[in-house]
Every structure is written in structure tokens, then in C-alpha cells.
Amino acid sequence: MKSALASLLLGLALATTQARADFRGKVSVVVNPQAPRAEWRRVPLPGAYIVVFWSITIPAPAHATSTCRYSELARSDEKGEYAMEGPNFLTAALADSYFLAYSPGLQSVNFPAGGSLQSAKDITMARSPLAPAERLSRIAGYADPQCPDKKMRDPRGLLDAYYRTLLEEASSLQVESPRGRDELQSIQAAARRAAGLDKPAPLRAVVRPSPRAIESSSTPPGQ
């Protein structure tokens, strides 16, 4: 009973809290990836796309459930820094955050070597060692960067450019396999939706008289 009440109160609070929590981070790139990891050096990375997700675990009698409450897209500036509006303050306080970072040819890595998993506030990227087919699969996984049932916020209008950049790299990989073609087509479809090119055509109402009405109207009077 207490668990259910807590979940209800939490849901009401999340629904009614409007003020947003500012969220900031930075993105760096390793400039000497050939060196041993202990000797890596990094510099700020401009132009990287970052999606941050906020997920909340809600207690329940049988087992806890985790729900993604909010996601937002941003891009790093010339100093490698980015800023987001963020979710409301209560979600920011209760949620765990995780991130997706994308820049052509790069992938996120731990820094320093052997360190703990990086956070969204301090992201390091390095050249991707993946083969073209694996890299294409990774990019295809970036093509739906939002919570399962909540639309991602894009207050800076970056989504179209994000998908175009994904598609450019995916096309350049030239993966000629059934799976590769399917993955490329899925990225193309996402890019078209982001550009507003796949809007459904307006429905046109067609009024058709029923057969019984036609029969009734053709019957001579008095018959």
C-alpha cells in the first residue's frame, strides 16, 4: 500500500513540476589514439551531437520498474561544451542519466584508461575501430534517440542536421549486404521523417451511396 501511494505521489509530482533544471557538459576527442591508453591526450571536440536520457526507478511490491522520463538533443560548441534545458527539477533530482554521443568516425570511450564509466558531463571520444558493417549497425542504433514512449526535446532544432550527418556517414561506408541495405534504408527513412518529407497525405472523404439506397430510388412509385 505504501509503495503504491509513493508511486502515485511520485507520478503526480513529475506531472506537475514545470521548472527545468539546467544541464551542462563537455565533449573531448583523443588526439593520439595510437599511443597506449595511459598516454592519451585529449582536446575539446566541437560539433558533436549529444542526447541525454533521464530514467527513474519506481518502487513496486514485486519488483522496481524503470521508466525513461525525458531526453534532449544538444551539440557541442567550439569549446566542446554543450548546454541543455533539462527535465524538471524533480526528475533531475530523482533520475539516473545516461547519454548517446555521436560524431562521424568517432565513438565514446573511457578516460583515463581503466577509469570508471564516463558521465554525460564529461564525454571522451576516439576514432572508432569498428569494421564498416559493425559501424553501420552502430549508426543504425543511433537513429532512434529518444525514450520509448516520449518524444525527444529538440529546442535548438538540431534533429534534421543530426540525421543528415548520420546518413552521410552511413552511405560512405558502402556496406553491400542485405542487412547493410536494410540498416541504411532505416536511417534514410528516419532522415526523411526528421526533414518532414514523409508526412502522410491528407485524407479525402469519398461519399458513396449504399446499394439499398440506389435500389429504393429506382423503384417505381406505388410498387
Whole-model pTM? 0.78
- In the predicted structure, residue 210 carries a pLDDT above the cut 50: no
Residues 82, 88: contact at Cβ < 8 Å? no
> In whole numbers, what is the pLDDT of the chain averaged over residues?
83
Confidence label for 6 from pLDDT (cuts 50, 70 and 90): very low
Question: Rounded to an integer, what distance in angstroms lies between the CA atom of residue 189 and that of residue 191?
Answer: 5
Question: Rounded to an integer, what distance in angstroms lies between the CA atom of residue 103 and that of residue 47?
Answer: 7
Counts for the chain of helices (H) and strands (E), in that order: 6, 8
Of 216 and 52, the structure prediction assigns the larger pLDDT to 52
Q: Which of 12-16, 93-97, 140-144, 175-179 has the lowest mean pLDDT?
A: 12-16
Q: How confident is the model over 4-32, as a mean pLDDT?
A: 69
**94: its cell numbers:** 530523482
Of 64 and 220, the structure prediction assigns the larger pLDDT to 64
Nearest to 51 by CA among 84, 121, 99, 91: 99
What are residue 52's phi and psi, to 5 degrees? -110, 135
Q: Which of 45-54, 112-121, 204-213 has the lowest mean pLDDT?
A: 204-213
Query: Which one-letter DSSP state was computed for residue 38?
Result: G
- In the predicted structure, residue 81 carries a pLDDT above the cut 90: yes
**72: its cell numbers:** 534532449
Q: How confident is the model over 186-194, as a mean pLDDT?
A: 93
Q: How confident is the model over 87-100, as a mean pLDDT?
A: 91
Confidence label for 9 from pLDDT (cuts 50, 70 and 90): very low
Query: 147 to each of 30, 59, 103, 198, 210, how far by Cα in Å?
Result: 30, 20, 21, 21, 46
